[in-house]
Structure 1
Amino acid sequence: MGASIVLAGLAPTAGAAQSSAAQPSDQVSDQVAEPESNSLKVYFTSGSSRVQADQAATLDLAARTFRDGNPLVMVVSGGADTVGDPLENLDLSLRRASSVADGLVARGIPVTRLQVLGRGNSELRIPTEPGVPEEGNRVVEISWR
């Protein structure tokens, strides 16, 4: 990745869970629909920052959305669940976001149009207690403006 990408990590904070979190999912679907809002989600297995093959369609859709709408910036924001050390989860969330950004660049999105962020487990999409594995929090959200 080039120096044009903004890496911003947010330090984990207690009680940062949001009540407007996404609906929990028992399994990740390999089907991708057109985005209902200005965001798409790429899910990860526990402890991994590797984009799984079943998530490639989401990256394809993000690239198509970029080409069709030509947004000013695409924000790639990584997250982690509450399993493990919060600082390690922050690093993991940044690696996840960077993996997604690499996939977007490989699909033709200019690196200068990406902003890469890591939230660790400071902004949980699905509130959980510490140490609870939650697939819905092991996600990178791609949004645009």
Structure 2
Amino acid sequence: MYRFPLVVLCSSALLLSGCASQNPYDQQASGSNRTASYGGLGALAGAAAGALINHDNRGKGALIGAAVAGAAAAGYGYYADRQEQELRRSMEGTGVEVQRQGDVIQLIMPGNITFATDSAQIASSFYQPLNNLANSFRQYQQNSIEIVGHTDSTGSHSYNMGLSQRRAQSVADYLLAQGVDPERISIRGVGPDQPVASNATADGRAQNRRVEVTLRPLPGAQ
């Protein structure tokens, strides 16, 4: 009567510690904590299911159920950990910033490396980061790729909307030419409508002129 809860708790603890210790990217705190959480919750559910299925040996059933469900539940979190680590490595020194929030990975590409002023033609300094992105996107294929162009507030709103759209399209076209699946890519231009700094200063305008690439899990990948 009292052995089943003890086994469930023990197996869940083992799965939690296993996820944390076996993930080679556990230095990335946000991703690793999420992986461990997924694995732990999956382990609890799997342990209960396994114990119910294995009527003859509830303890053994709970351990098996915890192991199977915990590994499956940790899948996308571990996948995103690996992709984030690879992106951080490949973008080091390029000026591209990599951010992570839960399942979402975002790359922020500042205007000083992407496009010349008032141009949608890719700058020479932007080719290497884009090549690295294309390599990553071909290797990791379980997320969608949203490309958003931004401008500062100089000039008319309608002109900036068009410019930001053309810049996002230029990035998408380059990635497509490198073999990235077109079904995964979407683009938007938001002009000056989502500033991250004040347009009253040159430095603020430079921060606002940017391209953001956001990666989200495809349906069924989580």
Seen in structure 2, the aligned counterparts of structure 1 residues 104 and 124 have a Cα distance that, compared at 3 Å, is same
Question: Which segments of 5 or more consecutive residues in structure 1 lack a partner in the other structure?
Answer: 1-29
SS in 2 for 1:73: strand
Whether the 8 Å contact between 2:147 and 2:172 is mirrored in structure 1 is: yes
Deviation at 1:123, TM superposition (A): 0.2
1:123 and 2:194 aligned: yes
SS in 1 for 2:164: helix
Question: Which segments of 5 or more consecutive residues in structure 2 lack a partner in the other structure?
Answer: 1-91, 100-104, 217-222
Percent identical across equivalent pairs? 27
Equivalent pairs counted in the alignment come to 116
Deviation at 1:128, TM superposition (A): 1.8
Match of 1:25 in 2: none
1:40 and 2:107 aligned: yes
Deviation at 1:46, TM superposition (A): 1.6
Match of 2:127 among 52, 56, 64: 56
Q: For 1:82-130, what per-residue CA distance to the aligned partner results, in whole angstroms no more than 9, with x for missing partners?
A: 1100110000000000000011101111222101011100001223249
Would you tell me which structure has more helix in proportion to its own residues?
A: 2
Measured in 1, the distance between the counterparts of 2:207 and 2:135 equals: 24
Match of 2:183 in 1: 112
**Regions of 4+ moved over 3 Å:** 33-36, 129-133
Structure 2 residue identity aligned to 1:109: V
User: Normalization by structure 1: what TM-score?
Assistant: 0.69
Which structure has more relative contact order (CA 8 Å, sep 6+)? It is: 1
Match of 1:97 in 2: 168
Seen in structure 2, the aligned counterparts of structure 1 residues 130 and 94 have a Cα distance that, compared at 3 Å, is farther
Match of 1:19 in 2: none
